[in-house]
Structure 1
Amino acid sequence: MNKTENITDSEIIVMKVIWKKERCTAAKIIAEVSKNSDWHFRTIKTLLRNLVKKEVVGYDIDEHDSRIYHYFPLISEEDYLRQERENFTDLYYDGNVGAVVAGFLKDTKLSKYELQDLKRILNNCLGGEKSKNE
């Protein structure tokens, strides 16, 4: 995926189904997306076609029925999210990851579990060193 060619919010809804299913037909994608939206099936097919054009979704044709296409992701969800985090950090924080984390921490109330998990992650990032406050 080209860094400048972003996936739209609507396309992300379709991608989430494809990431979850890993390989599925347009009919399954339409059924899944339709559970939470009132989009017409043609809208969903257009979004799917856009994702193929952006080369984030691939497809192959069913060996028994040439009218059926099986869609699959060409980029993992984690790789996509990593790229989006990098783009966000570069665009809004001039690449300063610490400022991003500090901003989220300042604006968000974390549960005790989330705080413990964050401490564990930070500890791992520091190579297992214990902080002075622990």
Structure 2
Amino acid sequence: MPGKDHLITPSELIVMKVIWKEQPCTASNIVEYISKQSDWHFRTIKTLLRNLVAKQAVGFHVDVHDSRVYHYYALIQEEDYLKQEREQFLKLYYDGSMSTLLTGFVKDSSMTPEEVQQLRSLLNRRMGEQGEGGNTK
């Protein structure tokens, strides 16, 4: 996992999302995918790839048939990264208080009835887990 001095920037995250979805993939695959959604120059995307390799978030191997082609893959799992980001967000903005965060989201958002039901089910399931075996995290 990248350290605090190696945080993934929002632009790098766009590249990571492509890699998580398509890995292993070549730089040209990544450029093609991102170009459909933005007007970034291919050099920008290649710079972001180099940064991610330097941060040890992405690895690569050289194609056996063409040494100019690199195949990129994630060195960190998407869910691990997202969990780390959620924890940092919670600490930074809500002093670690999950109830304050959730209360704010529920009050401020326009949740659909389906989303409300999903949240209710998740909380009920969590309460059942804690009731059966004590305090479960």
Q: TM-score, normalised by structure 1?
A: 0.91
CA–CA distance in 1 between the matches of 2:126 and 2:23? 31
Q: Classify 1:87/1:4 alpha carbon distance in 2 versus 1 (closer, same or farther; 3 Å).
A: farther
CA–CA distance in 2 between the matches of 1:29 and 1:119? 38
CA–CA distance in 2 between the matches of 1:82 and 1:52? 21
Name the residue aligned to 2:135.
none
Name the residue aligned to 1:59.
60
Amino acid at match of 2:38: S
CA–CA distance in 2 between the matches of 1:67 and 1:4? 30
Structure 2 spans left out of the alignment, 5+ residues: 132-137
Name the residue aligned to 1:100.
101
Q: Classify 1:126/1:4 alpha carbon distance in 2 versus 1 (closer, same or farther; 3 Å).
A: farther
CA–CA distance in 2 between the matches of 1:30 and 1:78? 24
Structure 1 spans left out of the alignment, 5+ residues: 130-134
Query: How many correspondences in the alignment?
Result: 129
Give, in angstroms, the shift of residue 83 of structure 1. Answer: 0.4
Matches within 5 A, 1:68-83: 68-83=69-84
Q: TM-score, normalised by structure 2?
A: 0.89
Matches within 5 A, 1:1-134: 1-127=2-128
Give, in angstroms, the shift of residue 4 of structure 1. Answer: 4.2
Q: Classify 1:4/1:104 alpha carbon distance in 2 versus 1 (closer, same or farther; 3 Å).
A: farther
SS at match of 1:7: coil
Deviation above 4 Å: which 4+ runs of structure 1? none
Give, in angstroms, the shift of residue 41 of structure 1. Answer: 0.4
